[in-house]
Amino acid sequence: MVVEIKQVIKRSGAVVPFNPDRIAHAIYRAAVAVGGRDRSIAERLAGQVVEILEQSLPPGGLPTVEEIQDVVEKVLIENGHARTAKAYILYRHEQARRRSKTKEDRDSGNVPYRKIWQVLSWSADQNLHSVSSLNQRIAQGEFPAIVRASDAAYGADLAAAAEHIIERRDRVKIIIIAGPSSSGKTTTTAKLAERLRQAGLSLVALNIDNYFFDLDLHPRDEYGDYDFETPHALELELINQHLAALVEGREIQVPHYDFKTGRRTGQTTPMRIGPDDVVLIDSLHGLYAPMTGSVPAEQKFKLYIETLLQMKGVDGRFVRWTDLRLMRRMVRDAAERAYDPQRTLEHWHYVRSSEMRHIIPHINTTDFIINGALSYELPIMRVRLLDHFSRWVDEYRGDPNRQDAWLRAERVYRLLESVSPVEDETAIPPDSLLREFIGGSCYAH
106 has pLDDT over 50: no
Residue 102: pLDDT band (50, 70, 90) is very low
pLDDT in tens, 188-239: 999 999 999 999 999 999 999 999 999 888 766 666 667 777 888 899 999 9
- Are both 129 and 211 inside the same structural domain? yes
Structural domain contains residue 444: no
Give the other-Cβ count within 10 Å of 365's Cβ: 12
Count the helices and strands in the chain (H runs, E runs): 16, 9
Residue 108: pLDDT band (50, 70, 90) is very low
Q: Give the CA-trace dihedral at 55, 56, 59, 62, to 10 degrees.
A: -110
Among candidate residues 64, 87, 104, the one where a domain is terminated: 104
**pTM of the prediction?**
0.78
pLDDT reported for residue 107: 45
Round to the nearest angstrom and report the end-to-end CA distance of the chain: 59
pLDDT reported for residue 204: 93
- The count of structural domains within the chain is 2
- Are both 97 and 179 inside the same structural domain? no
Among candidate residues 60, 88, 104, the one where a domain is terminated: 104
CB of 400 within 8 A of CB of 113? Answer: no
- Are both 84 and 115 inside the same structural domain? no
The predicted model gives 303-329 an average pLDDT of 94
- Are both 86 and 181 inside the same structural domain? no
Cross-strand partners of 369? 304
DSSP assignment letter at 198: H
Q: Residue 232 is part of a domain; what is its CATH number?
A: 3.40.50.300
Whole-number Cα distances in Å, 325 to 188, 247, 309, 320: 15, 34, 11, 9
- Are both 250 and 334 inside the same structural domain? yes
- Are both 232 and 284 inside the same structural domain? yes
Residue 244: pLDDT band (50, 70, 90) is very high
- Are both 229 and 267 inside the same structural domain? yes
DSSP assignment letter at 172: -
Distance CA 8, CA 63 (A): 5
Give the other-Cβ count within 10 Å of 245's Cβ: 17
Structural domain contains residue 167: yes
- Are both 96 and 130 inside the same structural domain? no
Residue 103: pLDDT band (50, 70, 90) is very low
- Are both 95 and 132 inside the same structural domain? no
Structural domain contains residue 244: yes
Write the Ramachandran bin of 182: left for phi over 0, alpha for psi from -120 to 50, otherwise beta: left
Structural domain contains residue 24: yes
What one-letter code names the amino acid at 437? F
The predicted model gives 286-315 an average pLDDT of 93
Among candidate residues 104, 125, 145, the one where a domain is terminated: 104
pLDDT reported for residue 98: 66
The predicted model gives 71-88 an average pLDDT of 89
* One-character DSSP codes across 62-131: --BHHHHHHHHHHHHHHTT-HHHHHHHHHHHHHHHHHHH--HHHHTSSS--HHHHHHHHHHHHHTT-SBH
Give the other-Cβ count within 10 Å of 373's Cβ: 26
Whole-number Cα distances in Å, 193 to 154, 186, 187, 287: 15, 11, 10, 19
- Are both 69 and 188 inside the same structural domain? no
* One-character DSSP codes across 339-384: --HHHHHHHHHHHHHHHHHHTGGGGGG-SEEEE---TTHHHHHHHH
What is the maximum alpha-carbon separation in the chain?
76
Structural domain contains residue 1: no
Structural domain contains residue 399: yes
- Are both 15 and 47 inside the same structural domain? yes
Structural domain contains residue 443: no
Query: What is the average pLDDT score of the chain?
Result: 90
Which helix H or strand E contains 257, and what residues bound it?
A: strand 252-258
Distance CA 210, CA 267 (A): 11
pLDDT in tens, 25-53: 889 988 988 888 888 999 999 999 999 99
CB of 20 within 8 A of CB of 27? Answer: no
CB of 222 within 8 A of CB of 345? Answer: no
- Are both 291 and 336 inside the same structural domain? yes
Dihedral pair phi/psi, residue 270, rounded to 5°: -70, 145
**Burial (0-12, 13-18, 19+ Cβ within 10 Å), 371:** buried
Structural domain contains residue 2: no
Tell me the residue range of the domain where 270 lies: 109-438
